[in-house]
Amino acid sequence: MTPIPASPEDRRPNESPSAACGRCGYVLTGLAPRSRCPECGARDAGGRIRDADALARSAYATITGVIWRSGVVVIGQVGFLVVAISIIRSFPGWIAIPVAVVAMLGVWFRTSVELDPDRGADGSSRLVRYLLRVFMLVGSAGYAVVAILPGFSGDAMIEFISISTMLLVGLGAALVGRRTAWWVQEDQGHAILEAAPWCYLLTIGGVVLVLGSHFAGLLPPAGIAATGPKLAMAAFVGGIGWGVCVLFADVQIFAASIRCLLHRAQYQATETRRDARLAEAEKEFDERVRRMDDDGTA
């Protein structure tokens, strides 16, 4: 017999906030908040509430929309890798402009409601998406302008701000993309998107090491300007590490969305057989009721 879920008043503080797994519906009463589902193995099963049906049970138009948007996100993430390389190497305008465009498109589609299983997002969620797009547009514009018009006054500062803005926006957009990974039931991709920001600890550690060595006198006394390339290398290591991790997760999500399209036909056949069985059962029930009525009248 299925256990009755505990009410919010009766649930202990260390129990899952949801009574059932967001993927398979398994009762999670008594489990820790971030525990795996014992039935399907979903991570943080009670903390992510969504319909138990995966993307594979959605309409074909919804699935194909997720597929091509996920493909654009993959291309956009390649653009972010080039942006990360720009920390230590400048690119000409004919490379920087396409990179800025594809990175912008990647953020745009990654934050679109079409890649979010919860289409009815609240106002705060929509505001975060719009802000990410606006800041990405500003950062991409600055990145492209510096590449087109090199050598003007303040170009180094504008390039630094633009690249930093683009990478920070990409970080935020990738966190939003975790919802897509959950929708297509790509647990590994979801875990990578959750863990990818920790790559920036490499940057923080490198900056602390370089600055500490500089002020401790362990580096040649050539001024802070000589330390700049070392700080750039530290930022490059963190940015490229984050970019590669997110790209790997994006490829997995793209592949999972294609699998959803292949599985949709199987689900449709299963649903058709189920509906036929239900119709047959209802017909048989109506026939039995009619016979009982006839016997009672006789």
d(CA 210, CA 215): 9
pLDDT score recorded for residue 191: 87
Q: How many residues does the chain have?
A: 298
In a 10 Å sphere around its CB, with 0-12 CB exposed, 13-18 middle and 19+ buried, how is residue 138 labelled?
middle
Provide the token pair at 13.
């503080």
> DSSP H helical segments within 111-186, as ranges?
123-148, 155-176, 178-183
Say how far apart CA 27 and CA 243 lie, in whole Å: 37
69 pLDDT more than 90: yes
pLDDT digits (tens, 9 = 90+) for 221-258: 555 556 667 778 888 888 898 999 999 999 999 998 99
Mean pLDDT of 88-112: 92
Phi, psi of 20 (to 5 degrees): -140, 155
Query: 84-93, 230-239, 266-275: which range is least confident on average?
Result: 266-275
pTM: 0.72
pLDDT in tens, 13-67: 444 444 676 556 677 777 776 677 776 666 666 655 444 446 777 888 888 999 9
Can you tell me the distance from the alpha carbon of 232 to that of 89, in angstroms, rounded to the nearest whole number? 10
Question: What's the confidence (pLDDT) of residue 40?
Answer: 64
Average pLDDT over residues 73-98: 92
The residues spanned by each domain of the chain are 1-52, 59-258
Q: How confident is the model at residue 105 (pLDDT cuts 50, 70, 90)?
A: very high
> Is pLDDT at 196 greater than 70 in this prediction?
yes
Mean pLDDT of 80-86: 93
Q: Is 101 exposed, middle or buried (0-12, 13-18, 19+ CB in 10 A)?
A: middle
